[in-house]
Amino acid sequence: MSFVMPMRLEPFKAACSSCNLRELCLPVGMSSEQVARLDALVATRRSLPRGEMLFRAGDGFQALYAVRTGFFKTCLSSEDGRDQVTGFQMAGELLGLDGISTDRHTCDAVALEDSTVCVIPYHMLEGLSHELTDLQRVFHKIMSREIVRDHGVMLLLGSMRAEERLAAFLLNLTQRLHMRGYSRTEFILRMTREEIGSYLGLKLETVSRTFSKFQDDGLLEVKQKQIRILDQEGLRRLVSSPAC
Amino acid sequence: MSFVMPMRLEPFKAACSSCNLRELCLPVGMSSEQVARLDALVATRRSLPRGEMLFRAGDGFQALYAVRTGFFKTCLSSEDGRDQVTGFQMAGELLGLDGISTDRHTCDAVALEDSTVCVIPYHMLEGLSHELTDLQRVFHKIMSREIVRDHGVMLLLGSMRAEERLAAFLLNLTQRLHMRGYSRTEFILRMTREEIGSYLGLKLETVSRTFSKFQDDGLLEVKQKQIRILDQEGLRRLVSSPAC
DNA sequence: CGCGAGCTTGATGCCGATCAATGCATGTGG
DNA sequence: CCACATGCATTGATCGGCATCAAGCTCGCG
């Protein structure tokens, strides 16, 4: 904390056209000619060691970031010290959309493991999406999807109980990991119990207890951050069981 | 409920250029030439009596809607009967952004009083924002603002207590009403205690009790749906007081 | 080896949910 | 006009889920 690290930019250009995240990221559904145009735009990458901030609330907004490798959280900290994790982002997901509204970022983005992102200068994205209808279409869909996701979190925070929240969280996580080619049943949590709790509106002790309960019920196996899902159906039932 | 009312379309065209909500709505900051182009796009209005749905979850997504007069709620209902109000919209605010992501609406939009909206066919908006850089810019900002708003609600739902939630809600409401020229201190709630509760993650009894407490504390006067704020500063202090 | 960050587990208490009764407006039909 | 129904709001009594406080425990790392 005593001095500022210069940000690390890779010497080589990023290239959407040769990126294996193509179908999960901004270029989804675009033709190879169109993706080639994107390459010009996504000029640089940036590496962040675990714990480093990609941007923080109040920073001027210049660019969006696509997670290339690694894992991030975004969090809001209100003036009175309250803290809320608003999301976790993995490969192919976009960071920084909140900055568009006021030209300043409104939350912090923190790497939860060593990570790299592709830097997408926003004014260039605006320019290119002006030319490429498909890019505009995809970009709007991505923003809209973020809104839909947020509404889902509101539903979770507003009306679910602790077990339902954690179950929904785990199912969401495994589903996203699975889309990226990872196991659907076994994975490592990149965030602490406290960060999960903040995201889910629970205290870390409750998160821990709920993990233990799930383990006792034979739904999963927990060994610190290692999780193995044993009964996905059981978790699913938990989420969509009426409060009865 | 026994038959379907045909939707009412006004015989006259809407006109952004002569609309007094210009500066709160899509045309914000655009030149009069540009706004004139918008007029072609915002072709029709639609009137809804109180209680009617503008769209519902699952409907095909065709258009965005700008509230012209009246008041709406949007709400999510999950398969298991849970219900979550995700927002309240008043004049100048846009409805339907969630539909872009999957070409289907993901929530219901309900008029809470007799209302009119301007219909903005989405494919035309895409086309025009392709030509008008400023329109594109404004539209992106509006979507981003919705994301920022949602994050604020997450903070509220995830970390505030009942009194703080209601105080934050009331301050937000008065602020938006004030921007539209209404009194900052006196207004009529268009939604029920239950709808407020759903939005804030509380039960209606808790909302009612909290209103009563605020009244006892001299912060405001409640007579059913009529609210008069007596001590705005007091409410503000409530919101930003550390949990201590 | 020992320190510290993060995790687990237990005991207790409180906030808000739940259950239940009453009050208060608005509307409807006799 | 009154009797009655209906929807919404208020208020009280009780309960329960999660927060809080407080020890230990585990594991990675200098």
Residues of chain B with CATH 2.60.120.10: 8-146
Which chain A residue has its CA at the smallest distance from B237's CA? A80
Structure-block tokens of residue A133:
């209808």
The average pLDDT across A107-134 equals 96
Sign for the CA dihedral angle at B226, B230, B236, B242 comes to: negative
Query: Is the CB of A47 inside 8 Å of chain B's CB atoms?
Result: no
Q: d(Cα A72, Cα A54) in Å, to the nearest integer?
A: 9
Cβ contact B171 with chain D strand, < 7 A:
no
Lowest mean pLDDT among A6-20, A159-173, B29-43, B204-218: A6-20
Cβ contact B1 with chain D strand, < 7 A:
no
Q: d(Cα B210, Cα B208) in Å, to the nearest integer?
A: 5
Instruction: Give residue A92's pLDDT.
Output: 97
Whether residue A14 has pLDDT greater than 90: no
Cβ contact A157 with chain D strand, < 7 A:
no
Instruction: Give residue A182's pLDDT.
Output: 95
Residues of B in Cβ contact (< 8 Å) with A79: 240
Q: What is the pLDDT of residues B122-143, one digit of tens each?
A: 999 999 999 999 999 999 999 9
Terminal Cα-to-Cα distance of chain A (whole angstroms): 50
Cβ contact A221 with chain D strand, < 7 A:
no
> Helix, strand, coil shares of chain B as percentages rounded to 5?
45, 25, 35
pLDDT confidence tier of residue A79, bands split at 50, 70 and 90: confident
Cβ contact A130 with chain C strand, < 7 A:
no
User: Any idea how long chain B is?
Assistant: 244
**Which bases of chain C are under 7 A from a protein CB atom?**
6-11, 15-20, 25
The average pLDDT across A176-186 equals 96
- Rounded to 5°, the CA angle B184-B189-B194 comes to 140
Which chain B residue has its CA at the smallest distance from A79's CA? B240
Whether residue A166 has pLDDT greater than 50: yes
Sign for the CA dihedral angle at A66, B29, B148, A75 comes to: positive
Which of A28, A61, A86, A155 to mutate to test binding with chain B, by most B CBs within 10 Å of its CB?
Answer: A155
Residues of A in Cβ contact (< 8 Å) with B99: 144
Identify whether the C-beta of residue A219 lies closer than 8 Å to the C-beta of residue A230: yes
Whether residue A105 has pLDDT greater than 60: yes
Whether residue A9 has pLDDT greater than 90: no
List Cα–Cα distances, A25 to A127, A152, A183, B130, in angstroms. 19, 21, 20, 22
User: Any idea how long chain A is?
Assistant: 244
Instruction: Give residue A240's pLDDT.
Output: 82
Instruction: Give residue B15's pLDDT.
Output: 85
What CATH number is given for B160-240 in this structure? 1.10.10.10
Q: What is the pLDDT of residues B8-46, one digit of tens each?
A: 555 455 689 989 999 999 999 999 999 999 998 887 999
Q: d(Cα B182, Cα B205) in Å, to the nearest integer?
A: 28
Name the closest residue (CA) to the C1' of nucleotide D26: A224
Question: Which has more pLDDT, A97 or A41?
Answer: A97
Instruction: Give residue A78's pLDDT.
Output: 82
Q: d(Cα B73, Cα B31) in Å, to the nearest integer?
A: 31
Q: What is the pLDDT of residues B166-218, one digit of tens each?
A: 999 999 999 999 999 999 999 999 999 999 999 999 999 999 999 999 999 99
Q: What is the mean pLDDT of chain B?
A: 92
Residues A126, A127, A132, A138, Cα dihedral to 10°: -10
CA distance B12 to chain A (A): 30
Closest CB to A100 among B99, B141, B159: B141
Identify whether the C-beta of residue B164 lies closer than 8 Å to the C-beta of residue B244: no
A148 to B102: CB separation less than 8 angstroms, yes or no: yes
pLDDT confidence tier of residue B165, bands split at 50, 70 and 90: very high
Which of B154, B169, B241 to mutate to test binding with chain A, by most A CBs within 10 Å of its CB?
Answer: B154
Structure-block tokens of residue B215:
């009244």
pLDDT confidence tier of residue B85, bands split at 50, 70 and 90: very high
Provide, in whole angstroms, the distance separating residue A199's CA from nucleotide D30's C1': 32
Structure-block tokens of residue B173:
């409401």
pTM of the model: 0.93
Lowest mean pLDDT among A58-67, B76-85, B146-155: B76-85
Closest CB to B241 among A80, A126, A133: A80
CB pairs under 8 A between A and B: 149
Cα radius of gyration (chain B): 19
Residues paired with residue A221 on neighbouring β-strands, in sequence order: A228
List Cα–Cα distances, A153 to A92, A106, A218, in angstroms. 20, 18, 26
Instruction: Give residue A12's pLDDT.
Output: 54
Whether residue B241 has pLDDT greater than 80: no
A199 to B143: CB separation less than 8 angstroms, yes or no: no
Identify whether the C-beta of residue B117 lies closer than 8 Å to the C-beta of residue B95: yes
Instruction: Give residue B14's pLDDT.
Output: 62
Cβ contact A47 with chain C strand, < 7 A:
no
A147 to B152: CB separation less than 8 angstroms, yes or no: no
Q: d(Cα B225, Cα B191) in Å, to the nearest integer?
A: 8
Structure-block tokens of residue A140:
């709007």
Backbone angles phi, psi at A96, to 5 degrees: 110, 0
| DSSP assignment letter at A104 | B
A159 to B129: CB separation less than 8 angstroms, yes or no: no
Furthest CA-CA distance within chain A: 58
Fold of A8-146: Jelly Rolls (2.60.120)
Q: d(Cα B83, Cα B76) in Å, to the nearest integer?
A: 6
The average pLDDT across B113-123 equals 96
Instruction: Give residue A173's pLDDT.
Output: 98
Lowest mean pLDDT among A39-43, A121-125, B199-203, B206-210: A39-43
Q: What is the mean pLDDT of chain A?
A: 92
Residues of chain A with CATH 1.10.10.10: 160-240
**Which bases of chain D are under 7 A from a protein CB atom?**
8-13, 17-22, 26-27
